[in-house]
Amino acid sequence: MAMTASSRAPQGSGSQESERSPFARLTELLAPYQPAKPLITLSLGEPQHPVPDFVGPVLAQHIAEFGRYPIAKGIDPFRRAAANWLSTRFQLPRPINPETELLVLNGSREGLFFAALTAARYVGERKGRPAILIPNPFYPAYAAGARAAGCEAIYLPTTLANGFLPDLDALDDATLARTVAIFIAFVILFTLAMLWNYLVPLNSLLFTTGIKGQDCGQMIWNIWYANEAITSGHNPFSTNLLFYPLGANLGHHTLAAGFFPLTFLVKKLSGNDPLYPFYAYKIAILLSFTLILFCGCVGSLSGE
């Protein structure tokens, strides 16, 4: 049994349907319609390209190890590598303990499922049946985890009327008193709130050292080179500026050539400012997140 915060009305026994993948339901809804042109898949985010050549031989070399289940905690080298990557990538104040602070998963949804079980176990006793708050729309793993943990799933509608944010004021004191967890579905909203320090000022970089600094610097160089190459009639996927005089193939680099219309326009509007790649990089990030948020809002409205 599940209920919504706005009505307190039970939603009946439809919880199993709510736990189905939204991608599976979307596929069923689109099944009667045949597109006139090949589709560009923007749903699940699964790989669309062939497996790299080096993967097959490595799998074949270890084929004998596929005859048994892998250990749940993962192999030691992987956990150590993951812990080192986290510390380096995010410059953490202390190292991650690979034995006690890493959970190896088959996918992110498995972790979301475990989160509900953990909340029900460790938060402590509550008066009445424990509840988990779930913004709606939501990932099916939220509701499945709540159900497996023996908790009541309380859905918080996120619609245009409430600014696409869960209305926590709609919850009464008794519900809050037995709540053990809340899932936050719209990570994009928090991401947008954090973008200010990253985007402003337009002519500087928040990160200049470490891997994060390398990512920013490489992308800005790619944007600059793609724009200069295309406007001068050269191939943007090849350059002799790297590994001179042999040159380098940029085909596997970030596809900055796709940003050419934006980069070209920014250069012109800035009066050929030498820092135009910085401006274009920051504006591209802002436009990308704005488009994601817009599509999410349109999707929520169309599902009402």
**pLDDT in the model for residue 79:** 93
Helix ranges (H only) for the chain are 15-18, 22-30, 55-61, 76-90, 108-122, 140-148, 173-177, 187-199, 210-231, 260-269, 276-302
Residue ranges in the chain whose pLDDT is less than 50: 1, 6-15, 303-304
User: For 61-98, how does the pLDDT look when each residue is reduced to its tens digit (9 = 90+)?
Assistant: 988 888 888 788 888 999 999 999 988 878 888 999 99
- Phi, psi at 128, each rounded to 5°: 95, -175
Q: Write down the pLDDT at residue 286.
A: 82
pLDDT at 97: 94
- In this structure, which topology does domain 3-20+111-189 adopt according to CATH? Aspartate Aminotransferase; domain 2 (3.40.640)
Domain range summary for the chain, segments of one domain joined by +: 3-20+111-189, 192-302
Cα separation, 169 vs 133, in Å, equals: 13
